[in-house]
Structure 1
Amino acid sequence: MSEPAGSVKCKRLEGKVALVTAATAGIGLATAERLAQEGASVFICSRKQSNVDETVAALRGRGLQVAGCACHVGSAEQRKRLVQQCVQVYGGLDILVSNAAVNPGAGPLSETPPDVIDKILDINIKAAVLLVQEALPHLLKRPGASIVLVSSVTAFNPPEPIAMYAVSKTALLGLTKGLAAELGPQGVRVNCVAPGIVPTKFSAALVQTPELAAQQAGATALKRLGLPAEQAAAVAFLVSPDAAYVTGETLVVSGGMHSRL
């Protein structure tokens, strides 16, 4: 957990319902926590029910409004159940944060096996599109609805050995633009956050030694690695009324790393 619940004073999201995927660790957990601190009722998911139960209990123990269920976002049945349960518990849906991603293999693009490519594209891109489709009928019922896709700074310059993963994150930049243009006239904003290198279990390979961590920090203008709470703050801004005239944009939160295609 990032900060005491009382440390976030603004309540921009009171009365809102937010669904955050892959939200029991790392950036997803920090995002769920921040949105709840700002007054949202938050529904979370993860592949393991035990992780969901532990996270819900911990956040509720701090006075936050959180519920959740297990969901593998690659399963059509489980995506449908996820959205249905969120709406059943809270009565609607205002905010969708698509954070789930996988990186099952590492190495050069020219040597990436077909099964690794399939898994990355299936979860990181296809599941994101289909989750939006599942949530959209509910989002369209709520004024000020918003979607945030979580990409990565690596999307702008895919590096070995995680280039295939990074390419899938590049696709999310285009998906953000496409969805924003399509859904804007219907009142739904769509934006993207591209985190820099944040030490989490997911990014462990990039910072697993002090030398690697120092190398990654040295690539930033601020000369340090990021924090999950800093990514969560960016998401909270994009889904809040403060960003009411922002759609189709990618907010890079990387401490000044290179971020141009």
Structure 2
Amino acid sequence: MATGVLRSFGVGASVARGALAWIRRDPKSAMLERTNFHGRTVTLAGGPALALGASAGAALGAANARTSAAALTAGLVSGAVGLYDDIVGNQPAQKAVKGFAGHLGALREGQVTSGLLKIVGVGAAGLAASALIGSRRTSFLGRTTDVLLGAGVIAGAANAVNLFDLRPGRAIKAGAVIGAPLALGRGGGVAAGTLGASAALLPDDLAEEIMLGDAGANSLGALLGVALTARTGTFGRFVALAGLAGLTAASERVSFTRVIEDTPWLRRLDELGRRPTA
């Protein structure tokens, strides 16, 4: 079992590094360049690289074919719609629309934003992945409840990790805190593959050479959601979903960056390995 977890970790790391090198060599990779909060030019290539590596590692580490398919569905679809939002959402008309309410308001005016497509895509991927994982319960109502809870956990985890993607390395560190316990014991391969890809890209993220963007953060969170859903029943999924909902609600009122900066041990963890501020 430990060998399988290590193999998943290694495959996730290897595919992520290979994908990053391949994407950066592409002549069109200049369209992925952005300016970060320090004013440095970085590339969003880390996002699709993480999505590919983490999905591959997670699928290899899954306990069965259905969970493997769930990992591929959640990781690749979340990464794809996130990358679309990273590229199209950078346009001035799209950047002006903020938050879920803003996307719905734009839809009422006849504008389908890239952010709304991302929300729908991640939600659909979460539902499909949860349906593939299934439920241990025998009644139709019980199975339906478990699938809906699992879909909420997968989509909610994708959104939660994305909330932390505001500073170099922060989203990957948050993912490690969530994923490390899920990588232990039987069924830990999905989380291990995801963490392998993340660990392989963390040095470049901290060095401000790449950023994850929505593609990487959404895929990372969705795959951790798959890992959690695959290892829990009704109660575990309900507790996880409640926690994710609370975290999302808190983000509407509280700046996570401000909380981290005002809490010494969180600030030290957040700054660990990062380039010093000029």
TM surpasses 0.5? no
> TM-score band (shorter)?
0.3 to 0.5
More strand by share: 1
Task: Choose between structure 1 and 2 for higher RCO, CA contacts under 8 A separated by at least 6 residues.
Answer: 2
More helix by share: 2
TM-score, length basis structure 1 = 0.32
TM-score, length basis structure 2 = 0.31
